[in-house]
Amino acid sequence: MNAERRPRVLYLAFFFPPSRASGVFRARATANFFVEQGWDVTVLRGPDRFFTHVAGASDDSLTETVDPRVEVEAVEMDYFKWETDVRRYGRLRGNFPAVARHWFSWKQRHVFPDKYQAWGIGALRAGLRLHRRNPFDLIVATGNPFASFGAAWALGKLTRRPFVVDYRDSWTLDQFANADMFPPEHPSWKWERRILRSAAASVHVNDGMRTWHAGKYPEAADWMQVVLNGWDPDVVDGEPLSPDEDRPLSFAFVGTLTHVQPISSLLEGFAIVTERGLHPGAGLDFYGHIGFFSSTEAQLRAQLGLDKEIEGVRIRGPVPKSQIATAYADSDVLVFMTGGSQYVTTGKVFEYMATGKPIVSVHEKGCAAEELLRDYPLWFEPESLDPEHVAAAMGDAGQAARKADPETAARAQDYARSFTRYAALEPFERWARDQIGKRK
């Protein structure tokens, strides 16, 4: 590689704008940061039809936030696991559905164990085509889906280029149950070990995740790294936010609601706040999607108890990226609600801290995010998920919001400034540059 040539990275990120999946901001930031640091970046992402027709989770405004120097190519796939329209069935499935199911299951067992397998194969083909045209120096894959890991492994073997796997989520660990995701004989274990042995590095979102994987795969532990999530300055500007004392308090959750979150503890805790008049007229606002797929929203609403009117609870719905800062500005206390424990951080906690507003935790003790929140001066932690304890923490956070001490808010935002996504990515980018430098 001559000195004047820009280093080139191939980035396998199924969930990339216009997808609005929860991990898309990490992928967007990675591509944008690398191109700003002088890399040529090519992204292979999922197909538009999956985002619009299968997930129902597409946001075209996100595409506009990707640096125009990033080359993005959508890779097609088959929709065997998601297709419900028989008119779209292929000849094999339309005429021999049992044979088609058997063939799909065989490929899951013997080719690669991921329902996005077809996309991974397509990404492998696209990556090889692009590499022949202009060779890459590094391959980075983010999961899920973990078919991207399989494609990166194969690309690394065929091109003899180093590859990195970024565990945006865990593959074989159930982060919410703190248990193995698969039985011991499942092929995912064999594939994960094979991939981690060959990877130049694996990247994890917190040290709990890194430690778990190091324990499972000690032979790969030395090249495991932590790259935290972070907040995006174009989503939260980091400017001090002053509450409007002429309106009742707004307790707000901003993010995607799922079945793993302890929403009943939050709703019952808020009901106690309302019944006891701790903050008269206070509301509980939910900004964001309910579930990751539009087709399951109604079912999830009922499961979470949000299918009926609840006093003071307002379902605000999805918020376009350009308006997220407005949602934060309209909120006085932010509710950090998540499932899981020591392996779960989420990206939303960084965004919350950047506002400088009071944060109430509603999650099991031992959540990985506690390590970050512990030094945040406006963190309010209930003793447990008992609604009485949640209500007490909400009451205290509401008092802090009414007090609105500028000095405390400034200290909170100063603390958060070190957790931008770019700050988290800087050491990884330097490491990546060193890796390809060794090949000169």
- Give the pLDDT of residue 316: 87
> What are the DSSP E strand ranges found in 3-106?
8-12, 40-45, 71-74
Half-sphere exposure of 382 (CA within 13 A, CB side): 24
Answer yes or no: do 21 and 141 share one domain: yes
- Give the pLDDT of residue 288: 85
On the 0-12 / 13-18 / 19+ scale of CB atoms within 10 A, 100 is middle
Is 38 inside any structural domain?
yes
Mean pLDDT check: name the lowest of 9-13, 58-62, 274-278: 58-62
Which pair of structure tokens corresponds to residue 46? Answer: 């999922």
Q: Provide the pLDDT confidence category of residue 91 given band limits of 50, 70 and 90.
A: confident
Answer yes or no: do 278 and 381 share one domain: yes
- Give the pLDDT of residue 386: 97
Answer yes or no: do 429 and 378 share one domain: no
Is 1 inside any structural domain?
no
Percent of the chain with pLDDT over 90: 66
Q: Provide the pLDDT confidence category of residue 175 given band limits of 50, 70 and 90.
A: confident
Answer yes or no: do 389 and 433 share one domain: no
On the 0-12 / 13-18 / 19+ scale of CB atoms within 10 A, 110 is exposed
- Give the pLDDT of residue 1: 45
Is 341 inside any structural domain?
yes
Longest Cα–Cα distance in the chain: 71
Nearest of 404, 425, 424 to residue 416 by alpha carbon: 424
- Give the pLDDT of residue 237: 66
Answer yes or no: do 160 and 98 share one domain: yes
Is 221 inside any structural domain?
yes
Is 54 inside any structural domain?
yes
Answer yes or no: do 207 and 259 share one domain: no
Kind and range of the H or E run holding 138: strand 138-143
Higher pLDDT, 308 or 47: 47
CATH number of the domain that 140 lies in? Answer: 3.40.50.2000
Is 235 inside any structural domain?
no
Answer yes or no: do 226 and 274 share one domain: no
Answer yes or no: do 204 and 337 share one domain: no
Please list the residues that pair with 224 across neighbouring strands.
202
Answer yes or no: do 289 and 368 share one domain: yes
Q: Provide the pLDDT confidence category of residue 296 given band limits of 50, 70 and 90.
A: low
- Rounded mean pLDDT, 135-157: 98
- Domain span at residue 205? 8-230+421-437
Answer yes or no: do 333 and 287 share one domain: yes
pLDDT, tens digit, 9 for 90 and up, residues 147-169: 999 999 999 999 999 999 999 99
Task: Answer yes or no: is pLDDT of 280 > 70.
Answer: yes
Q: Provide the pLDDT confidence category of residue 239 given band limits of 50, 70 and 90.
A: low
> What are the DSSP E strand ranges found in 157-300?
163-167, 173-174, 179-180, 201-204, 224-226, 250-254, 283-287
Q: What is the distance between the alpha carbons of residues 371 and 373, in angstroms, rounded to a whole number?
A: 6
Kind and range of the H or E run holding 140: strand 138-143
Answer yes or no: do 281 and 362 share one domain: yes
Tell me the whole-structure pTM to 2 decimals: 0.87
Task: Answer yes or no: is pLDDT of 379 > 90.
Answer: yes
- Beta-carbon neighbour count of residue 128 at 10 Å? 15
Total domains, the chain: 2
- Rounded mean pLDDT, 267-293: 90
Answer yes or no: do 152 and 216 share one domain: yes
